[in-house]
Amino acid sequence: MKDYKPHITMLKVEIKNEDESVLTIDMSDEFVMWFKKTHNLKRWAPRQFTNWLREVLNQQEKKS
């Protein structure tokens, strides 16, 4: 059985131009707590979350 990871929900994707897009994401308190614990953070770190999300999306793109 895989380790459980709380989910985030992508609500909207806006493509601004070829190099820029905006993602609107909903994340539960459970996800925030999981992320902070997993990355050994005392408080939310937007830059670290952005880097993590990019890596996750890049991995998914490679699987496609």
HEC sequence for 3-61: CCCCCEEEEEEEEEECCEEEEEEEECHHHHHHHHHHCCCCCCCHHHHHHHHHHHHHHHH
Q: Average pLDDT per run of 10 along the chain, which is 64 residues long?
A: 76 92 93 94 96 89 75
Q: Residue 63 has what pLDDT?
A: 76
Q: Residue 62 has what pLDDT?
A: 79
Give the number of other Cβ atoms within 10 Å of residue 8's Cβ. 17
Q: Residue 2 has what pLDDT?
A: 62
Quote the CA–CA distance of 53 and 2 in Å, as a whole number: 19
